[in-house]
Amino acid sequence: MMDPAANPVTKKSADYCALEKFAFGFFCDRCGKEWRSMRYDFNPGSFVQPLDPAVFEILWNDQRRAAHERANREAALAFNRCRACGRWVCQACYCLSETGVSDICKDCL
């Protein structure tokens, strides 16, 4: 199984990161409805303020990467993967069978 933290779960995603917060959006592969992650705070730790720009960049990029991995894992729980076509779709675009065997998107129904 694909590691959902490796690449965005959905085909389309958005980056809403700012200097103090990290947030990401993921879009249903069928209808395009957006799901947004929680906002994660940037934490400079115990470094003396103001941070050296090079140190700030390293810390910010590391924390952004970790926040993206976390948001991607959350998106994997927010969307459903179609067993037929493999797309990640929102709840409105997903058809769950009573037996749970043929869980597919509405396009594959």
* Residue 98 is assigned to a structural domain of this protein: no
Phi then psi dihedrals of residue 21, to 5 deg: -140, 150
* Residue 38 is assigned to a structural domain of this protein: yes
Provide the domain limits for residue 39: 12-80
CB contact set of 13 (below 8 Å; sequence gap of 6+): 24, 25, 26, 27
Q: What's the pLDDT at 77?
A: 95
Q: How many independent structural domains does the chain possess?
A: 1
Q: What is the C-alpha to C-alpha distance for residues 91 and 100, in angstroms, rounded to an integer?
A: 15
Per-residue pLDDT of the chain (109 residues), as tens digits, is 344 445 789 999 999 999 999 999 999 999 999 999 999 999 987 766 677 889 889 999 999 999 999 999 999 999 999 999 999 999 999 987 766 656 899 999 8
* Residue 87 is assigned to a structural domain of this protein: no
* Residue 95 is assigned to a structural domain of this protein: no
